[in-house]
């Protein structure tokens, strides 16, 4: 594994139509933290990753695999999932509040803009999916 890659080990839980779902458990330094049990972070909890992979025929359900992504892909996903929606909320709140002087209306407009933002992301998810590719390898 290269220094600019992030990898997770997991188990193939389903394969269908060119997609593979892999169950992984996120691990990090949070496990050593004394307040980790009270934290809302999802460390240590299983999650399923949907992977579009042309080689799905080479894998079977229950097989152990390693999922590898570059840090650039991870940063891109974080920007799309958190930074863009945050900017949309803050910008909408600031603009509507400045124009109307009504913070309640600004808050409602921000929520509406957030819904529109996520709907737009959902509509272009096919293009986004190709930018966020994982590499999958079998564990021996």
Residues with Cβ within 8 Å of 5's Cβ and at least 6 positions away in sequence, in order, are 68, 69, 70, 71
Cα gap 70→24, rounded to integer Å: 17
Q: pTM (2 decimals)?
A: 0.64
> What share of the chain in percent tops pLDDT 70?
80
Q: What pLDDT shows up at residue 69? A: 81
For every residue of 33-81, DSSP letters joined together read -TTGGG--S-TTSEEEEEEE-TTGGG--TT-EEEEEEEHHHHHHHHIII
Between 68 and 112, name the one with better pLDDT.
Answer: 112
Render pLDDT for 16-57 as a digit per residue (tens, 0 to 9).
887 888 888 766 655 555 555 545 454 567 788 888 766 777
17-21, 96-100, 118-122, 124-128 — which one is most confidently predicted on average? 96-100
């Amino acid at each position: 594994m290269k220094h600019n890659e992030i990898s997770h080990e997991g188990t193939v839980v389903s394969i269908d139509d060119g997609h593979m779902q892999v169950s992984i458990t996120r691990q990090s330094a949070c496990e050593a933290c004394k307040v980790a049990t009270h934290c809302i972070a999802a460390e240590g909890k299983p999650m399923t990753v949907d992977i579009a992979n042309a080689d799905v025929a080479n894998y079977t359900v229950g097989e152990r695999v390693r999922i590898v992504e570059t840090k650039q892909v991870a940063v891109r996903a974080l920007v799309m999932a958190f930074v863009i929606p945050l900017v949309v909320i803050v910008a909408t709140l600031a603009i509507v509040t400045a124009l109307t002087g009504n913070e309640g209306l600004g808050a409602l407009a921000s929520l509406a803009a957030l819904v529109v933002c996520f709907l737009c992301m959902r509509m272009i998810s096919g293009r986004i999916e190709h930018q966020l590719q994982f590499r999958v390898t079998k564990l021996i």
